[in-house]
Amino acid sequence: MIVYGTTLLALCYLIGLFLGEALGRLIGVGTNVGGVGIAMLLLIAARIYLHRRGVMPRETEAGVGYWGAMYIPVVVAMAAQQDVVAALRGGPVALMAAVGAVLVCGGCIALLTRMGRDDTSLPEPTAEQLLS
């Protein structure tokens, strides 16, 4: 059922919030650091784990898929509520984490771009194809 997908999301969300709070306290910011992102990573990992073991019904997977599609709007709405000024007052750790995240993501994108192949380009037509 789709409700089970929502239940799985709720469980991942609670664990993500707990881990985000613990991470925030660990680095000295005193606020939740990435709880929603951790929750979504847990949801993805749980879905893959359950799917590979064949224990996730199609209806549950539909519920997880629904929340996966809702992830971006939810994160944008939550990010709009964040107090950036308070995060920066919390110390340079927040600023270093933001810059570090941007650099790591940029490096991953560059690496994936170089490793990937271009499947979007069309092959050049041969002379026979042009004449026919």
pLDDT tens track for 40-73 = 888 888 888 888 888 888 777 777 777 777 766 7
pLDDT score of 30: 79
What is the domain partition of the chain in residue ranges? 1-82, 83-118
pLDDT score of 104: 93
Is 107 in contact with 99 (CB distance < 8 Å)?
A: no
Q: What is the H or E stretch that residue 60 is in?
A: helix 58-80
pLDDT score of 103: 93
pLDDT score of 46: 86
pLDDT score of 79: 63
pLDDT score of 8: 82
| Residue ranges of the chain whose pLDDT lies below 50 | none
Rounded-to-integer distance, Cα 27 and Cα 19, Å: 12
User: Nearest-CA neighbor of 13 among 58, 70, 80?
Assistant: 70
